[in-house]
Amino acid sequence: MKHLAAHLPWPRIKALAHSNAWALLPIGSTEAHGPHLPLNVDVVIAQEVCSRVSSSLETVEFPPVTYSLTDFAAPFAGTVSVPAETAKAMLVAIIRGIGHAGFTQVCVVNHHLEPAHFKVVHAAALEASSPSFRVVVPDHRRKPTGPLLGDEFMHGGSHAGAYETSLMLAAAPHLVDEDARRALPSLSVDLPAAIKAGATNFLEAGGADAYFGAPAAASAEEGNRLFDIITAATLDAMRRR
Ligand SMILES: [Zn+2]
């Protein structure tokens, strides 16, 4: 069962922390996600994963981190990027702050997949953890989970393509502009290869509308299938010792 930390008074938080509940910290970004999705896609996905994980565990979900390092979407309106050092200092403080309530374990549920950002999350988790405070960062890009999420996901089309759009159709369909989505031509760009070749943002990588992959091929059914895989992988990481 999920409790929302923001809605509880401190004695309840303290009691839940001391009952060995898991703290959850969803992390997303505020960044352009194509002409069919809102800026908060990564936050919506992270919070949905927190909800699904909580159907089999007692959890306390903290308010999400909504501003992150997001340089790749920087050329597009609405994207707000935070420098790596600032983002890391903020994350370390937030994770330690959660620990101060008495939680012994926190799962950092990150769904903003920009490599430089994920590096910041891993580094912050390491710095904030201690022998009495376990900080888990599931990373669904890695094997064996990544390949299960499909070819588009593995080859860099995970930004606002069929992968993220399907997750949004499953979690928050009211936030998807269906007319815009259906009209988008598929755009297959190997993002990791483009980055290696020197691209420093989505525009330079060939994504003139801040999306890659095939949004038109997305479906809620596929989104639920993807959420099942991500939820299982997240629970696995939490249970691993
Ligand atoms: Zn995203």
pLDDT of residue 158: 77
CA of 212 to the centre of ligand 1 (A): 11
CA of 45 to the centre of ligand 1 (A): 8
Pair of tokens at residue 234:
């997240």
pLDDT of residue 196: 85
CA of 131 to the centre of ligand 1 (A): 32
Residues with CB under 5 A from ligand 1 (ion): 41-42
CA dihedral 182, 81, 116, 37 (to 10 degrees): -10
| Contact assessment for residue 76 and residue 105, using Cβ atoms and an 8 Å cutoff | no
Domain count, the chain: 1
Domain that holds residue 44: 2-239
pLDDT of residue 194: 87
CA of 16 to the centre of ligand 1 (A): 31
pLDDT of residue 154: 84
Per-residue pLDDT of 192-236, as tens digits, reads 888 889 999 999 999 999 999 999 999 999 999 999 999 999 999
pLDDT of residue 193: 85
Q: Which long-range contacts (CB under 8 A, 24 or more apart) does 139-143 make?
A: 139/237, 140/229, 140/230, 140/233, 140/234, 141/113
CATH for 61: 3.40.50.10310
pLDDT of residue 60: 98
Please identify every stretch of the chain with a pLDDT value under 50, giving residue numbers as ranges. Answer: none
pLDDT of residue 195: 85
Pair of tokens at residue 229:
């895989």
pTM of the model: 0.96
